[in-house]
Amino acid sequence: MRPLWLDDLESLEAISQNEEARRIFLRMAALSQSGRTPSFVVEIALDRDLDAATKTRLVELAEDESFLLAVEEYLVRTHRLH
């Protein structure tokens, strides 16, 4: 059985390697820190290009402040190293 943190690390690294995902997660982290997540959630709901499953997952991620903080810290630190 793999430790849970290893899955988290792999997810963080996958995000860091995808420039579009990196920008999205950094933007969600900034919105979360500034208290503007509710407006982002409304934008997601109104977006006609996203399917229901994607909307649901994006809202879950956008509302997970601790995850967004961890992602942001990982992305900033690894970006400095590369």
For 15-73, how does the pLDDT look when each residue is reduced to its tens digit (9 = 90+)?
Answer: 999 999 999 999 999 999 999 999 999 999 999 999 999 999 999 999 999 989 999 99
Q: How many separate domains does the chain show?
A: 1
> Which 3-state string (H, E, C) describes 4-23?
HHHHHHHHHHHHHHCHHHHH
Residue 1 has pLDDT above 60, yes or no: no
Q: Which of 42, 34, 37 has its CA nearest to residue 63?
A: 37
Backbone φ and ψ for 74, nearest 5 degrees, come out as -60, -45
CA distance 57 to 59: 5
Q: Is residue 23 part of a domain?
A: no
Q: Is residue 7 part of a domain?
A: no
Q: Is residue 19 part of a domain?
A: no
Q: Is residue 13 part of a domain?
A: no
Q: Is residue 1 part of a domain?
A: no
Q: pTM for the complete prediction?
A: 0.80
Q: Is residue 24 part of a domain?
A: no
Please give the residue range of the domain that contains residue 60. 34-82
